[in-house]
Structure 1
Amino acid sequence: MSLERILITGYKASELGIHSMKHPGIPIIKKAVAKVLRGLLEDGLEWVVVSGQWGVELWAAEAALELREEYPALRLAVITPYENQEEHWGEEKQEWYRSLLARADYKACVSKRGYEGPWQFKAKDRFLLRNTDGLLLLYDEEKEGSPRYLRAEAQRYAAIEPYRIITITAQDLQDTADEERPAWD
């Protein structure tokens, strides 16, 4: 099953213990995502979709934008659960987020209001699952976190609709990190 539109999600930065935009784990996550995306692009992937969550989603969006050099037809959509989700982030993160949004091909909010409650995240998940062909999820069974909700919803959806779920695990990240190490280490 080839995918034209893939939703990407995973842990929030804080769930991974990442509190700096210079953390050495970020390039590893981006490389692991890019590796999967390259294979999907060869099979016809056209859109990467994220909800703009600070963490794996935004690093994946950045990886997708970097892949445009090789795959100029690749498009990025950022569809947030509500308006101004970045308003409580630090200034550096807000600036980086806004520059990423400026390079996205499509930007929208599922709820055209500010944050009102958890129902907005559920509505966002349902909307994004219905409007993509698959999910690329950075998730480890041994480390539960916020991605488990979308994962469970995607599994329910995949039971009734053709929907592909691809997982990047902690082992995949370790393998990517090992590939980056010089052979003499």
Structure 2
Amino acid sequence: MSGYRSYELSVFTENDPKLFYIKMYLKNRLIEYIETGLEWVLISAQLGTELWVGEIVLELKETYNEIKLGVLLPYSGFAENWKEGNRELFDKIIAKADYTNHTSSYPYKNPMQLKGNQQFLIDHTEGCLLFYDTESEGKPKFLLEMINEFKYSHDYELDFITFDELQAFVSEYEENHFES
């Protein structure tokens, strides 16, 4: 699971109203996958979608004890320079994940470590749920390009969460919960 970074969605605080809906929608999508056999959710703990998904999976483990969270960091020392609030969330997810490791044992040296991490995740998963809309490019574009290249020679499932889907979810939720 991957997607936009928090800053790409203009989400800068935990109490941002947008985040309530994003997390709720991510949770609903993850439940659909869990109920059809999903066993592991793998993230690389990027700020935004991936950390939110980590939080959600940890919450869902209380109901769906078969789901597991794996965190594969791109390099050692990842997140050590993050702001306090982001670092606290990261540390909580790392502490409670079922598996953690890093694909490069060196501290950050170059962007190839990030690309290598993404390729490792693609090579070792059956698919990806990607919060990305081609109408609003961002960092997930690079992962999407790698997945599309991989799909030429491999059977790989790719599912999207788009802004239109998210907006339809928000509209339906508000209609059902805020009727006068």
Smaller-chain TM-score bracket: over 0.9
Task: Give the deviation of 1:176 after TM superposition.
Answer: 2.2
Counterpart among 64, 74, 88 of residue 81 in structure 1: 74
SS of the residue 1:78 aligns to: strand
Counterpart among 108, 114, 120 of residue 121 in structure 1: 114
SS of the residue 2:103 aligns to: strand
CA distance in 2, matches of 1:101, 1:175: 33
Structure 1 segments of 4+ aligned residues over 2 angstroms from their partners: none
- Say yes or no: does 1:25 pair with 2:18: yes
Task: Give the deviation of 1:72 after TM superposition.
Answer: 0.6
Aligned to 2:179: 184
CA distance in 2, matches of 1:135, 1:56: 13
Counterpart among 43, 46, 50 of residue 36 in structure 2: 43
SS of the residue 1:49 aligns to: strand
SS of the residue 2:153 aligns to: coil
CA distance in 2, matches of 1:57, 1:33: 10
Give the conservation status (yes or no) of the 8 Å contact 1:83–1:111. yes
Q: Which amino acid aligns with 1:17?
A: S
Ranked by relative contact order (alpha carbons within 8 Å, sequence separation 6 or more), the top structure is 1
- Say yes or no: does 1:170 pair with 2:157: no
Give the conservation status (yes or no) of the 8 Å contact 2:127–2:158. yes
Counterpart among 48, 53, 61 of residue 55 in structure 1: 48
Give the conservation status (yes or no) of the 8 Å contact 1:47–1:76. yes
The answer for unaligned runs of 5 or more in structure 1 is: 1-7
Give the TM-score normalised by the residue count of structure 2. Answer: 0.94
- Say yes or no: does 1:141 pair with 2:134: yes
CA distance in 1, matches of 2:56, 2:165: 16
Task: Give the deviation of 1:69 after TM superposition.
Answer: 2.1
Give the TM-score normalised by the residue count of structure 1. Answer: 0.91
Give the conservation status (yes or no) of the 8 Å contact 1:81–1:110. yes
Counterpart among 56, 73, 90 of residue 83 in structure 2: 90
Counterpart among 8, 18, 21 of residue 15 in structure 1: 8
The total of aligned residue pairs comes to 178
CA distance in 2, matches of 1:143, 1:85: 27
SS of the residue 2:122 aligns to: helix
Give the conservation status (yes or no) of the 8 Å contact 2:75–2:102. yes
CA distance in 1, matches of 2:169, 2:59: 18
The answer for unaligned runs of 5 or more in structure 2 is: none
Task: Give the deviation of 1:183 after TM superposition.
Answer: 4.0
